[in-house]
């Protein structure tokens, strides 16, 4: 289970350097090693975006232990391990932002995705707990619900399924990767926002 990670500090610091590497987010030692390597390379970590995600869909009666565990390991445990890996450096610097990419499924549940919905709901809880825990050190923690995007995770959806998902939005369309990226960069730079959940599409859910 691998995902790629790119340290975002250069972009926010206005530096020209960039770095692309791979990371198994379910491996504690690997997460710690990458955080140290990023600090050695750039001097600090300004922002962590936890966007590693997988689906392992299945109904309640057919979902296997491995499918359940896979969704929780990558979507939830991976975010915890990466946040843990950078938190000490951010707290020491009294500056930093952790952004967790959650999902609409966390708020509403999605049929056939109980493992994914549970993991993403846990990610919102993790976000708010860490915001309380790290706030005194000026480390912000927020969650983003980007909506359905044209990524590898949605590549298997049919045109009809995309049409249905678009129709569930009051604007009649889904978002783009560029829009989501622009918002995340903007949010990462905010200094006085923490513990919040930001939804980036036009689906409207219940208040409760």
pLDDT above 90 for 153: no
The whole domain housing 83 covers 3-147+180-199
pLDDT above 60 for 10: no
Q: CA–CA distance from 27 to each of 24, 48, 77, 88 (Å)?
A: 6, 17, 9, 18
Q: Does any domain span residue 174?
A: no
Q: Which of 31, 52, 116, 127 is catalytic?
A: 116
Q: Which DSSP string corresponds to 75-110? A: IIIHHHHHHHHHHHHHHHHT-EEEEEE--THHHH--
β strands within the chain, DSSP E: 3-5, 21-23, 47-50, 96-101, 139-145, 197-199
Q: Looking at residue 162, what is its pLDDT?
A: 83
Please state, rounded to an integer, the average pLDDT across all residues of the chain. Answer: 89
Q: Is 116 one of the catalytic residues?
A: yes
Q: Looking at residue 8, what is its pLDDT?
A: 37
Q: Could you tell me the CATH number of the domain that includes residue 74?
A: 3.40.50.720
Hunting for tokens 């530096």 — which residue is that? 15
Q: Does any domain span residue 173?
A: no
Q: What integer is the mean pLDDT of 130-157?
A: 92
pLDDT above 90 for 101: yes
pTM listed for this prediction: 0.87
Q: Does any domain span residue 190?
A: yes
Instruction: Tell me how far apart the terminal alpha carbons of the chain are, to the nearest angstrom.
Output: 35
Q: Taking a C-beta distance cutoff of 8 angstroms, is the pair 103, 173 a contact?
A: no
- How many distinct structural domains can be found in the chain? 1
Q: Does any domain span residue 158?
A: no
């Amino acid at each position: 289970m691998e995902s790629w990670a790119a340290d975002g500090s250069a972009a926010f610091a206005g530096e020209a350097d960039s770095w692309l590497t791979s990371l198994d987010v379910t491996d504690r030692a690997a997460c710690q090693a990458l955080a140290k390597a990023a600090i050695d390379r750039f001097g600090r970590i300004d922002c962590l975006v936890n966007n590693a995600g997988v689906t392992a869909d299945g109904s309640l009666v057919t979902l296997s232990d491995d499918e359940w565990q896979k969704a929780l390991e990558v979507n939830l445990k991976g975010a915890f391990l990466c946040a843990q890996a950078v938190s000490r450096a951010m707290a020491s610097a009294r500056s930093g932002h952790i952004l967790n990419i959650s999902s609409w499924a966390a708020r509403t549940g999605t049929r056939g995705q109980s493992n994914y919905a549970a993991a993403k709901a846990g990610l919102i809880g993790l976000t708010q707990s860490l915001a309380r825990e790290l706030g005194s050190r000026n480390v912000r923690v927020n969650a983003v619900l980007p909506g359905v995007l044209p990524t590898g995770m949605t590549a298997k959806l049919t045109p009809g399924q995309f049409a249905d998902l678009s129709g569930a939005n009051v604007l009649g369309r889904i978002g783009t990767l560029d829009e989501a990226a622009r918002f995340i960069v903007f949010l990462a730079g905010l200094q006085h926002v923490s513990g919040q959940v930001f939804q980036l599409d036009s689906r409207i859910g219940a208040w409760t």
